Amino acid sequence: MKSTGRYRLFINPIIVACITAGTTFSVRTIAAESDTTRDAQAREHLKAAEEQYAKGEYLAAIDECYFAILEKPDFFEAHYQRGLAYLARHEYDKAIRTFDRALAIDPKSARALSDRGFAQGAKGRFDACIADQEKALAIDANLPRAYARRGAAWAAKSDPAKARQDIDKALSLDPSLGEALCDRAMLKAMKGDISGAATDAEAAIRAEPRLARGHWERGVLWMRQGNGVAAGTCLDEAIRLDPRSADAFLARGQLQLAAKEYEPARDDFSKAIALAPKLAVAFAGRAEAHKRLRETAAAKADLEMARDLQPVDPRTKRRAVTTSTLPPRFELLSAGVDPDRQTATVTAARKIDALVAANYSTHAVEPMPRTDDSQFVRRIYLDTTGRIPTYKEVNAFLHSRDPDKRTKLIDELLGSDDYALHFFNYWADVLRYRDTLGRDVRGEPWRQWIKQSLAENKPWDDMVREMLTAEGLAWENPATGYLQRDPGMTLDVVNNTVRIFLGTRIGCAQCHNHPFDSWTQRQFYEAAAFMVGTGTRVGGGDQRFFQEDPVRRLRAEFAALEQEEEDRRQRSYPFDRHVTVNMMVVHDNVAKKLALPTAYAYEDATPGSVVEPKVLFGPELRPEPGETPRQTFARWLTAADNPRFALTIANRLWKRSFGAGQIEPEDDMSDSTVAENPALMAFLEALMRDVDFDMKEFLRIIYNTETYQRQAYDQEVAAGTPYHFPGPLLRRMSAEQAWDSILTLAVFPVEYREPPASLYAQAVAVDLEKQSAEDIVTAQQKVAEFDRLCRDMQKPYTYKGNLLARAAELPSPLPPNHFLRMFGQSDRELIQASSTWGSVPQVLFMFNGQISHMLLEENSTIYKTIVRKKTVHDGVEAVFLTILSREPSKEESAAAIKEVKADGPAGYGNVVWSLINTREFLFIQ
């Protein structure tokens, strides 16, 4: 073992054992060393690197260079030597980066320039190769390699005359330059001079016996000459010298194929593919081998790959077979409401109106008048789809003479994808959705599950039951996201669950009897006992999941993986995390019991004693055979006869529609809670059961009531006084409604959709019992590729750094200075932490933020609407209809026309900017 330098160590068996055991250990340390010592150590590492390189141990050479660079960061020779080793390993991108660093230290190094050019050429960038060779030659006009490489680049650019001239020049300067001899051999072979080529290849082998390429060329030439045995010998030698040469494996595969040795042929092609994943001809070869071995499916897949990878034909600009290149998007499948229920819907709506009206007389309330069509169309779009209607949509509605147009529009909007996006924003706020759930588990699968459940109108009780009972990995069963949100926090989860779904706060009783309600600490623990056995992560030693601990095995395998030391150091933590993410499995241990706290202070139980699960209210519940306590709990919670489940969701949806609940606040009910209109609340609760927790149908009924269709209440409602619903309350748009509405003015339709989580699932999943450390490294790369794909997909939809996507498609939580956060979107830490309060930074955003200026750009939706109008009068009217969904008053029209006539297009800009800065724009009437 070489000198370890200072704190670092090489991997040797003893250390592997230590790592495997999961231990870290201190190492001998040396007090601060002088620069001369560090210099000496760096040189020592370089010397070792050169030795390893000469032996063909390129990885070890790279590590030695890395150590040398750690000692002396600006050590040119170490960077350069490392670059050479990358070249030998065919890692051309890394080679280019390394030579870049070397050249930053010494820009006048002809060899570094020439070698970087070589790597560029190997990546197919022939002009860059030629440019680098010319720079090298400007510094050293007699550098044989530079001529040879420029010649090779010319050959690749189909200019054999120039190529031959350069290669001859190289050989005149150095007749034993293997690289140039190989190049000349290829040029000769291209012209059909096989024996001449063979002479050059043999000369190359004599001159540089360790040059794999010489053996490979000789082998290929032997194949052309029909001598399979000699070809085989040469190719074996080429592979021995360079086990990372895809070309050599490919050639040997073809040789085996010709010799009808299909299995070895298939294996050689596989190796070629592993080394060069885009080598179409290797896929074609393996397809043939598979076919001969009667592996039909594999043969078909390989053939398709081969076709896809075929280079684009420059004349037709088409591949032989085109495949879909559309960016993948998560598409919603939205269900509409049931047209056959129309009569029942209207009957229920009239019943609600009657109950509200009865209350008006009781409390002497004067109801608001019915909305006009402008007010209605804007409100129903905002409430159902989360955005204002477009100019076209407003006009279509205002001009329709259909007496049922309101009812029809309600049905249409409830069936649109926008419904799911809008209600996702609400539930994300309630459920505290974020993109990273506990311990690196990603939220996308759950997010898309919520959206799709809303879109397809999954009954609310089913949706809740699925979340509460889900088992497995987050990407296999996305409903587990609900429990993965708070791993290891059983008591908090129970508290939140009861609050969200049953509108009841038992949190106080977590620590002591509830001071204002009837809940005792014991009751809290009894409820929590249902969930205590639920875990979110399985251990490697858990025999229900693993026969032997995969973590130990995988760590040991990782430590032994052939990779650069620098990479090993940087990758070890991400590797462990990837393993852990694959162990984040929601599961139940039914034997686990919950004990009261040791400081339990009440008389009814002994501190620390075990509590049995018991429901909070309603009749006692017997577990069904085979049911886990969690399943029993979910069955109780979501039962139609649970006294608060239907009540809570009915009240929540009522509040969504009117701005105030029948019961306020919606998640703090107690035995003494009385609704504003008890008869109405009872009806709504029963209705929720009648429609089988169909949320779209419930909303459809509410939207069809006269009560909902009244104008927004125009008086102040004093705090603490009950609201009797003379109409909906005037509400400020939610942050998401404001953002989505501005987007509607700028880029309608908003095309961007998040990529499907199924792609993430395919990338991240590994079978810990069967797969190797190498597979996990591959999976990590695939996740990185998925992330790259997501970023690439966003680029065309980005305006000055802002992704122009519906709020429901944006990351969560957003940074605090994002428009949505400024306007009150939650940071997703607390239940319903969003707010609709104003602030000065909000106003500054509306004044000067990029988003408001986007509206004034020439290709914005509103701009395009205006330019089609022939007169200023029509243009101004269109602006008002687009932004406020109504026509301007005479006074407004006059002011706007005056402005446009005075300033021209800039005047339109001022009118648009001013209208989105009105309070009327931000509030929902």
User: Smallest distance, Å, CB 547 to another protein?
Assistant: 28
**Nearest distance in Å: CB 215, another protein:** 39
Would you call 201 helix, strand, or coil by DSSP? helix
CB of 914 to another protein, least distance (A): 4
Nearer residue to another protein within complex by CB, 270 or 572: 572
Instruction: Count the neighbouring beta carbons within 10 Å of the beta carbon of residue 549.
Output: 15
Q: Are 193 and 225 in contact (CB under 8 A)?
A: no
| Minimum distance of another protein from residue 571's CB (angstroms) | 9
Our CB check for another protein shows the closer of 256 and 834 to be: 834
When the beta carbons of 602 and 923 are compared against another protein, the nearer one is 923
The full 3-state SS of 437-482, as one line of letters, equals: CHHHCECHHHHHHHHHHHHCCCCHHHHHHHHHHCCEECCCCHHHHH
Q: Phi first, then psi: what are they for 913, rounded to 5°?
A: -60, -45
Provide the minimum distance between the beta carbon of 766 and another protein in the complex, in angstroms, as a whole number.
22
CB of 736 within 8 A of CB of 825? Answer: yes
Q: Which two tokens stand for residue 898?
A: 């005056």
- Shortest separation between residue 632's beta carbon and another protein, angstroms: 23
Which residue's CB is nearer to another protein, number 21 or number 321? 21
Q: CB of residue 877 vs another protein: minimum separation in angstroms?
A: 13
Q: Could you give the angle at the alpha carbon of 679 between the alpha carbons of 676 and 683, nearest 5°?
A: 110
Q: How far is the CB of 27 from another protein (least distance, A)?
A: 6
Q: How far apart are CA 637 and CA 643, in angstroms?
A: 9
Give the span between the Cα atoms of 714 and 721, in whole angstroms.
16
* Distant-in-sequence, close-in-space partners of 419: CB < 8 Å, separation ≥ 6: 334, 384, 385, 413, 454, 455, 696
Could you tell me whether strands 472-473 and 585-588 are parallel, antiparallel, or unpaired per DSSP bridges? antiparallel
Please state, in angstroms and rounded to a whole number, the distance separating the CA atoms of residues 839 and 857. Answer: 27
Give me the phi and psi of 707, to 5 degrees please: -60, -45
Q: Residue 322 Cβ, how far from another protein at the closest point, in Å?
A: 42
Q: In angstroms, what is the minimal distance from the CB of 894 to another protein?
A: 9
Provide the minimum distance between the beta carbon of 818 and another protein in the complex, in angstroms, as a whole number.
Answer: 9
440 or 456: CB nearest another protein: 440
Question: What is the rounded end-to-end Cα distance, in angstroms, of the chain?
Answer: 78
Cα 756 vs. chain centroid, distance in angstroms? Answer: 8
Give dist(CA 704, CA 505) in Å, integer.
33
Residues paired with 803 in a beta bridge: 798
Task: State the nearest-atom distance from the C-beta of 851 to another protein, in Å.
Answer: 10
> 590 or 830: whose CB is closer to another protein?
830
- Cα separation, 824 vs 479, in Å, equals 27
SS3 219: helix
Buried b (16+ CB within 10 A) or exposed e, 427-444: bbbbbbbbeebbeebbbb
Which residue, 169 or 568, is less far from another protein as judged by CB?
A: 568
Minimum Å gap between C-beta 60 and another protein is: 18
**CB nearer another protein, residue 254 or residue 497:** 497
- What is the CB neighbour count within 10 angstroms for residue 818? 18
CB of residue 62 vs another protein: minimum separation in angstroms? 16
C-beta of 189: minimal distance to another protein in Å? 48
DSSP letters along 169-195, please? HHHHH-TT-HHHHHHHHHHHHHTT-HH
Residue 702: closest CA among 691, 714, 716, 715: 691
Longest dimension (CA), the chain: 110
Residue closer to another protein by CB (options 67, 249) is 67
For residues 47 and 569, which CB has a smaller minimum distance to another protein in the complex? 569
893 burial type by CB count under 10 A (0-12 exposed, 13-18 middle, 19+ buried): middle
C-beta closer to another protein: residue 230 or 895: 895
Q: How far apart are CA 45 and CA 53, in angstroms?
A: 12
Is the Cβ of residue 455 or residue 862 nearer to another protein in the bound state? 862
DSSP one-letter code for 388: P
Q: Name the residue nearer to another protein (CB basis): 509 or 646.
A: 509
Neighbours of 505 (CB within 10 A): 20
Q: Which is nearer to another protein, 15 or 335 (CB)?
A: 15
**What is the helix (H) or strand (E) element at residue 299, kind and residue range?**
helix 296-309
Q: Judged by CB, which is closer to another protein: 643, or 849?
A: 849
The Cα–Cα gap between 854 and 851 comes to: 5
User: Residue 752 and residue 739: Cα distance in Å, rounded?
Assistant: 14
For residue 678, the surrounding DSSP H or E stretch is helix 678-690
**What one-character-per-residue DSSP string does 77-95 give?**
HHHHHHHHHHHHTT-HHHH
DSSP assignment of 882-897: HHHSSPPPHHHHHHHH
> Which of 361, 715 has the CB closer to another protein?
715
> Smallest distance, Å, CB 842 to another protein?
7
Nearer to another protein, 154 or 558 (CB): 558
Type of residue numbered 326: L
Please report how close the Cβ of residue 157 comes to another protein at its closest, in angstroms.
Answer: 40
Query: What kind and span of H or E run contains 840?
Result: helix 840-848
Helix (H, G, I), strand (E, B) or coil at 924: strand
Partnered with residue 512 across adjacent β-strands are none
Q: Which is nearer to another protein, 142 or 850 (CB)?
A: 850
- Smallest distance from the beta carbon of 79 to another protein, in angstroms? 15
